[in-house]
Amino acid sequence: MATVNSGARLDRLPISRFHWQILGLIGAGAFLDAFDIYLANGSLAAMVKTGFTDLRLGSFFISATFMGMMIGAGLSGYLGDRFGRRYSYQANLAIFGLASLAACFAPNIYWLILLRFLMGVGLGAELVVAAGTLCEFVPPATRGRWTSLLALIINSGLLGATAVGYWVIPHLGWRYMFAIAGIGALIVWFLRHRMPESPRWLETVGRLDEAEATVAAIERQVAARVGKLPPVARVVSHEVPAAPLSALFARGMIGRTLVAALTCMAINMSLYGFVAWLPTFFVKEGLTIVQSLGFVLLMSFGAPMGAVVGYLVTDRIGRRNGIVLFSLLTIVLGFIYVQMRTPAAISIMGFALVTTIYTVCTLGLFGYIPELFPTAHRLRGTGIAGTCGRAASMSTPYVALLLYTHFGVTGVVAMVGGVLLLLSVAILALRIETSQQTLEEISPDISVEEADESEALGSGAV
């Protein structure tokens, strides 16, 4: 068998129940991942209020998360490209699920910091694998909308953690937040055993029989739902002789790698330098825990709304233009937000600001970054970007606290605006749009040849 042609065969499949199942299995773990990340927001504020920790050790708690996530992002990229997408996402889900359960019983902040580091290893891995795996199953015409649906699920983790924490933290305590995340993660771990390996990856590493069997099974499942499948329009060879890490820094790829890393850094600094610190900022301004969580709950609706906006625009204006547009909107809204004084104005402008930040997150993290890399390097490229983003996030709590101490929220918003402006310039300079193109067309090193209908039928069309 010369080629399985898995990419072209998957790309011509109509959207069916199979795609929804893939989204559900990937999204469930990714939601719990985001829930686990964001539960730190309200939990840290409660720990500070009750004396379990102070802001200084709280900064170590936040940074331990990002240290673990930095290691997890890089490790999962290697595991995902070396051993498969399925192996990687099952390993990281088990790690952060078990560590979350153990965190319920942490006797002091020092043990909790250690366990949060272990959670971070699993958390950093999950987001690297999720978007990269989903985009390998979904056809290019709607890939942007499907990655936006994944973003909607993940972004809802902020709303979910804030909503659950709004009741759980005052009534039961912050420890129960970790228990909820841990139990949910282990349930999803068992459900994910039904998910297939990526045929694109199988073909890339030369496991052609498995790739053919997997694609054929998917085709049968889809055909049973929609009837006769359309012909395959092209023949693509995915198999590559070698896929060294150094290829990500070779000519033709290094620009993509650097822009992906900058995208991840800018988004993470926006999320964790501003959004994640909102409950603590409000408490320091004199609000009670309940009032603080109430404000943040209202603003948190901007997280899923950002994914909805991304869904509406990503396949129309493209990932590249969308990232630039909403980065600039975030900068403008940020400086308007710091002028607000009444509760209603703070909530409305805060909601708009969080929406634009999460629109950039949707278009960048879940669409643009994994699409920039060929299949053989997709998770390692995404992992390197994630590692850089987490490294930036490790310093962000200290920088945010320093800026807040000297300049108030205005200083924090200025930091976010600066990194988003730099991101916009870099993306415009790269001049690569990924919307409405197959993953193979975007890749700089894979040849795509048009095939007539007879060639398509001979390559496995149903």
The residue type found at 283 is V
- The answer to whether position 47 is within a domain reads yes
Task: Give the helix ranges, DSSP H, for 51-142.
Answer: 55-83, 85-103, 109-135
pLDDT above 90: percentage of residues in the chain: 35
Q: Which of 183-187, 228-232, 393-397, 458-462 has the lowest mean pLDDT?
A: 458-462
**pLDDT tens column, 202-257:** 998 888 999 999 999 999 999 998 888 988 877 766 666 666 788 899 888 999 99
Count the Cβ atoms, other than its own, within 10 Å of residue 19.
21
pLDDT of residue 329: 94
Confidence of residue 459 (pLDDT cuts 50, 70, 90): very low
pLDDT digits (tens, 9 = 90+) for 406-425: 887 778 878 888 999 999 99
- 395 pLDDT band, cuts 50/70/90, is confident
Integer angstrom CA distances of residue 406 from 58, 279, 403: 19, 19, 5
Which pLDDT band, with edges at 50, 70 and 90, does 462 fall under?
very low
Within-domain flag for 373: yes
Residue 290 has pLDDT above 60, yes or no: no
Other CB atoms within 10 Å distance of the CB of residue 129: 33
Check the CA dihedral 400-404-409-412 and report its sign.
negative
**pLDDT tens-digit profile of 132-151?**
999 999 999 999 999 999 99
395 in a structural domain: yes
Using the predicted structure, report yes or no on whether residue 317 has a pLDDT greater than 70: yes
Each residue of 65-87: pLDDT tens digit?
878 888 888 888 888 888 889 88
pLDDT recorded at residue 412: 80
Q: Between these two residues, 111 and 238, which has the higher pLDDT value?
A: 111
- Indicate the average pLDDT of the chain: 84
At residue 285, the pLDDT reads 58
Q: What's the whole-number mean pLDDT along residues 41-62?
A: 80
Three-class SS state of 224:
helix
Does residue 460 carry a pLDDT above 50?
Answer: no
* Residue 315 falls inside a structural domain: yes
Show the tokens assigned to 430: 């790269």
Tokens of 290: 């309940």
Contact 204/375 with Cβ under 8 angstroms? yes
Say what the pLDDT of residue 454 is: 34
Residue corresponding to tokens 């200025």: 414
Annotate 153-218 with DSSP letters as a single string.
HHHHHHHHHHHHHHHHHHHT-THHHHHHHHHHHHHHHHHGGGPPPPHHHHHHTT-HHHHHHHHHHH
**46 falls within a domain:** yes
Q: How many domains does the chain have?
A: 1
Tokens of 166: 């709004």
Q: 1 in a domain, yes or no? A: no
Mean pLDDT calculated for residue range 286-311: 75
Identify the pLDDT of residue 58: 80
Mean pLDDT lowest among 2-11, 324-333, 378-387:
2-11
Choice among 367-376, 387-396, 418-427 with the minimum mean pLDDT: 387-396
Q: What was the pLDDT predicted at 278?
A: 61
Asked if pLDDT for residue 129 goes beyond 60, the answer is yes
Name the nearest CA neighbour of 420 among 351, 358, 369. 358
Which H helix or E strand runs over 450? Answer: strand 448-450
Question: How far from the centroid of its chain's Cα atoms is residue 61's Cα?
Answer: 21
Look at residue 178 and tell me if it is in a domain.
yes
Best CA proximity match to 268, nearest among 66, 408, 58, 35? 66
CB 100 within 8 A of CB 181: yes
For residue 455, name the pLDDT band (cuts at 50, 70, 90): very low
The pLDDT value recorded for residue 266 is 93
What residue numbers bound the domain in which 346 lies?
A: 6-238+245-458
Surface-to-core class of residue 407, CB atoms within 10 Å of its CB (0-12 exposed, 13-18 middle, 19+ buried): middle
Residue 353 lies in a domain: yes
Q: Which CATH number fits the domain that encloses residue 372?
A: 1.20.1250.20
pLDDT value for 448: 41
pLDDT in tens, 168-179: 888 888 889 999
Average pLDDT for 174-191: 89
DSSP sequence for 271-336 = HHHTGGGHHHHHHHTT--HHHHHHHHHHHHTHHHHHHHHHHHHHHHH-HHHHHHHHHHHHHHHHHH
Q: What is the pLDDT of residues 430-453, one digit of tens each?
A: 989 999 898 888 887 543 443 333
Q: Which long-range contacts (CB under 8 A, 24 or more apart) does 205-214 make?
A: 205/239, 205/376, 206/239, 208/1, 208/3, 208/4, 208/239, 209/1, 211/4, 211/6, 212/1, 212/4, 212/460, 214/6
Q: Which helix (H) or strand (E) holds 430?
A: helix 409-430
